[in-house]
Amino acid sequence: MRRPEGFDIIILVMAVTLTCFGVVMVYSASSVMAAKKYHDGFYFLKRQGIFAAAGFAAMVFTMQLDYHVWKKVAVPLFLSCFFLLILVFIPGIGGAAKGASRWIRLPGFNFQPSELAKVALIIYMAYSLDKRQEKLRNFSTGFFPYLMILGAFIVILLKQHDMGAALTMGTVAITMLFAAGTKPRYILGMGVVALPGVFYLVVSEAYRMRRITAFLDPWKDPTNAGFQIIQSWLALGTGGILGQGLGEGKQKLFYLPEAHTDFILSVCGEELGLVGVLVIASMFLLLVQRSIRVAIAAEDNFGRFLAFGIAVLLGLEAFINMAVVSGMLPTKGLALPFLSYGGSSLIISLTAVGILLNVSSRMKGLPS
């Protein structure tokens, strides 16, 4: 039964506010480029508006759907995502851009299966951890099988040149395992064993090495590998405390690459200043805090793991994007949830929020 208080209104307000604000900022960041490329300054605004409407519809549907239903579809959904990730490599079905093969071409829309796979992984792990919690403290029957499953997904994502999604899924899965009771020494041991592999992945691909060297010193190659982060710094620095004003940013005018997608926070910083960026970061922090609150008070373990996984996913993606934009992490293609342009990310994020809201409506008690 739902609580008399209903859904967590703060989570709902944060998700809706961030999404609506994202639509405005996508227009601000893309209108000039859209006018030049598509002869329609509203091109990205109209598409993002459609994505937002579809995302809100998905959120309303999932927030009304009893979250226990996801137990029944956890395994088929998980396997379907594995199949979809393979489909991107098939000519005529998969789409590529800038050396990465991450999309399935649909009429008028490119779908990114890795976005759905992130939520499918959380649903599957919540279902599996609920069933197998007593086995988690055993390496061979509790921890190792999850490593094999996770490893298969990561291999496919790395083949797609999507290291950002691979790192995100890996971190979410390991965090959920830790929260479910996996022995810390298993996780630490896995990290030590994985380090040589991570090092090899970085040095074996020239584009990854360029990102690392640009991260360490972007001014060594300011017109190529270091160009994007330098332009991002210029945008953030120009914004100052209060910003240049909505729509008044200059770096988006063909200087800052991916201004309306991965680096939309730079545009926010230039136009709304440090204050605007801090407000956005605070909204994400509040969203994650309330999501963890829901996980603590969920009526069963499945709901706890489900809410906790979604909280980690949204918080981690927001943190990585903000760290990349500010130069704290090497550049990688990872959208800022709710704000960045893109249908797959926005629709799936709002769908996940809907699931989270349904868990909140059935909390057995509010934590202090």
Q: Count the residues in the chain.
A: 368
Q: What is the pLDDT of residue 173?
A: 95
pLDDT, one tens digit per residue, over 231-275 is 999 999 999 999 999 999 999 988 998 899 999 999 999 999 999
Q: What digits encode the pLDDT tens for the residues 29-53? A: 999 999 999 999 999 999 999 999 9
For residue 365, the model assigns a pLDDT of 60
pLDDT at 367 over 60: no
Cβ–Cβ < 8 Å for 362, 298: yes
pLDDT at position 4 is 43
Average pLDDT, the chain: 91
Please report the pLDDT score of residue 99 as a whole number: 59
Q: How confident is the model at residue 137 (pLDDT cuts 50, 70, 90)?
A: confident
pLDDT at residue 1 tops 80: no
How much is the pTM? 0.94
List of residues 6+ apart from 45 with CB closer than 8 A: 23, 26, 27, 30, 31, 34
Q: What is the rounded distance in angstroms from the CA atom of residue 253 to the CA atom of residue 33?
A: 7
Residue 160: predicted pLDDT:
86
pLDDT at 366 over 70: no
Q: State the pLDDT at residue 109.
A: 80
At residue 368, does pLDDT exceed 60? no
| pLDDT for the residue 304 | 95
Cα–Cα distance, 26 to 22 (Å, whole number)? 6
pLDDT in tens, 48-102: 999 999 999 999 999 999 999 999 999 999 999 999 999 988 887 877 666 567 8
Average pLDDT over residues 303-325: 97
Residue among 263, 265, 261, 350 nearest 44 (CA): 261
Higher pLDDT, 347 or 140: 347
Distance CA 140, CA 276 (A): 48
